[in-house]
Amino acid sequence: MDAGVQRPDWRTEETTSLFEAILRLENREDAERFFRDLCTLGELHDLSQRWAVVRLLDEGLHYAQISQQTGASTATITRIASWLQHGEGGYRLMLERTRGGRLQGGRRGRRSPTR
């Protein structure tokens, strides 16, 4: 990306409205129904695959093993690993909230002092 070109902010009225709708889901059945209406099967597959990659990275699996298990490319796994380390913290948050993800105390999950 050209240094003079700024990336548009992803936080828009539309994304805010979407997140507010998601927060109103009461259970997994509601989530399944909403996301199935919202997303194509391909989009659901991609989202599910990314979450599977996050969980396997948290378990410490090597990229080749993750690729074999999920079908994700190593480029995708690398990108997810980067977001896991330097993203908004959402992956870590959800790992911690879903069955005690190991990131909170593990080497991979430590936040840098500047974050």
Contact (Cβ atoms closer than 8 angstroms) between residue 95 and residue 103: yes
49-61 tens-digit pLDDT: 999 999 999 999 9
By CB atoms closer than 10 A (0-12, 13-18, 19+), residue 52 is middle
User: Quick check: is 85 in a domain?
Assistant: yes
Residue 36 inside a domain? The answer is no
Q: Is residue 101 a part of any domain in this protein?
A: yes
Domain extent, residue 89, equals 41-109
Q: Is residue 50 part of a domain?
A: yes
Element (H, E) at 105: none
115 residues of the chain, pLDDT tens digit each:
444 555 678 999 999 999 999 999 999 999 999 999 999 999 999 999 999 999 999 999 999 999 999 999 999 999 999 999 999 999 999 999 998 645 444 434 433 333 3
**Is residue 17 in a domain?**
no
| Amino acid occupying residue 76 | T
Specify the number of domains making up the chain. 1
What's the one-letter identity of residue 49?
Q
* CATH number for the domain harbouring residue 66: 1.10.1270.10
| Residue 1 included in any domain | no
Q: Is residue 23 part of a domain?
A: no
Whole-model pTM?
A: 0.77
Asked, for residue 114, whether it belongs to a domain, the answer is: no
Cα 111 from Cα 115, distance rounded (Å): 6
